[in-house]
Amino acid sequence: MKGSNPFVPWDETVIMGRKQQMEAFSVFLDRVAGGSSGVLLLYGIPGSGKSMLMKLFHAEAQKRGLFAPYMKVEKRDKLDRISKALFSELENEIAAKEPSRADVFSKEGNTGTLKGVIGALEKVMHSNFPGVVFLIDDLDRTRKSEEMIRNIANVAKEKRKVGFVVSSTKRFEPPENAETMHLDPVEEQEFHDYIAKMLKKEPKMGEECIKAIYADCGGNPKLLKQVCWILYDSIRENEKMITKAHYVANMRSMISFLSRDWFGKLYATASQQEKIILKNLARAPGPLSVKELAAGLNKGMGPVATLLIRLEGKGHIIRVERGRYKIFSKLYAKFIQERG
């Protein structure tokens, strides 16, 4: 008997895969707690679970006893505003962990610089300073994100027991004291495991259906969840199996929903020149290199490479190997083709 829909795209308590990333973050925390400092750059396109993973990192750092102020960057935020927001988050953490030190920290004053925030924390905690990990989500939404990364890296060089975790869709030139973590598409087995966890009772999902959904979504966690959510809602109450036939029959309603909820907004961020690139990639049977795209469009490789980097930074496409790109999912490619 069909129950309530277990596939909730906005549910941040259930994550698909990402065990390797959690293990790598645990090692990063060990180094910070042990007295080292550094920067971790987390890259992922929209839907990859980047912000969800940042929140799990936040919870894990707090569980380990470190201070872990988290903030999500808004457009046009500057470093002073980010620093002040992190200071405020630290005020709340200190009030919860060390109430007697909270007023002392507040009186240190919010200088609007990362050095000032760390200095105030060190002064208040003295020898009891356990370490701090600053989690800054979506830094690439700011105009001067490259400059901010360099500033963050310089601060980390000068301090002990200080870590910065910065998430972004756009890729930066990594500073020498930074390590990178990429959220690639989840593996098909990880999607299988997720389905098994969500559908413990009937209706179950057929193997062909699982494979078709995975192939069309390109391993994008959010897209996989959204498609399963729409599909589950579409079946009748007495259905015992969700099949590939159900999936194919509901393709039109899925594309329509995704167009309104995600794809339409994403497509609108592309310039006219970028849309030409997208349409060529959407029609291609596989990934294309810069050289292949440039030849097909009768354009120079330099301008085409620049457009591809911009599209990757906005989350339209993914790089599958050096110099070769494809649309991040077949469903988005289908949407682009239908746009003419």
What is the per-residue pLDDT across 216-251, written as a single tens digit (0 to 9) for each?
999 999 999 999 999 999 998 888 999 999 999 999
Three-class DSSP category at 309: helix
110 has a pLDDT exceeding 90? no
Domains 19-182 and 268-338 share a fold: no
Tokens of 203: 């209706």
In this structure, are residues 151 and 121 in contact, taking their beta carbons and an 8 Å threshold? Answer: no
Mean pLDDT value across residues 303-312:
96
Segment 245-266 shows an average pLDDT of 95
Instruction: Look up residue 238 and give its amino acid.
Output: N
Rounded to 5°, the CA angle 155-111-86 comes to 65
Contact 62, 68 (CB under 8 A): yes
pLDDT at 98: 84
Q: Is residue 75's pLDDT more than 90?
A: no
Span 188-265 CATH architecture? Orthogonal Bundle (1.10)
Alpha helix ranges (H) inside the chain: 19-33, 50-63, 79-97, 99-107, 114-125, 145-158, 188-198, 207-217, 221-234, 244-249, 251-258, 264-268, 272-283, 290-297, 301-314, 330-338
- Of 85-89, 101-105, 187-191, 268-272, minimum mean pLDDT range: 101-105
Q: How far is CA 45 from CA 21, 86, 131, 311, in A?
A: 15, 24, 30, 11
Q: Quick one: pLDDT band at residue 12, thresholds 50, 70, 90?
A: low
State the CB neighbour count (10 A cutoff) for residue 1: 9
Domain 268-338: which CATH number of 1.10.3720.10, 1.10.10.10, 1.20.1280.50, 2.40.50.140: 1.10.10.10
In this prediction, residue 101 has a pLDDT band, given cuts at 50, 70 and 90, of: confident
Q: Which pLDDT tens digit goes with each residue over 153-162?
A: 999 999 999 9
Average pLDDT, the chain: 93
Mean pLDDT across 119-133: 90
Query: Over 70: is that where the pLDDT of 313 sits?
Result: yes
Return the residue matching tokens 């356990």. Answer: 130
pLDDT digits (tens, 9 = 90+) for 196-210: 999 988 899 999 999
pLDDT at 126: 84
Q: What is the pLDDT of residue 1?
A: 63
pLDDT at 340 over 70: no
Which neighbouring-strand residues pair with 327? 317
User: What are the sequence ranges of the domains in the chain?
Assistant: 19-182, 188-265, 268-338
pLDDT at residue 311, rounded to an integer: 97
Q: Is the pLDDT of residue 50 over 90?
A: yes
In DSSP notation, 210-252 reads HHHHHHHHTT-HHHHHHHHHHHHHHS-TT--EE-HHHHHHTHH
Mean pLDDT of 328-332: 97
CATH match for 19-182 among 3.40.50.300, 3.40.109.10, 3.40.50.360, 3.30.1600.10: 3.40.50.300
Q: Considering the chain, what percentage of its residues have pLDDT values greater than 70?
A: 99
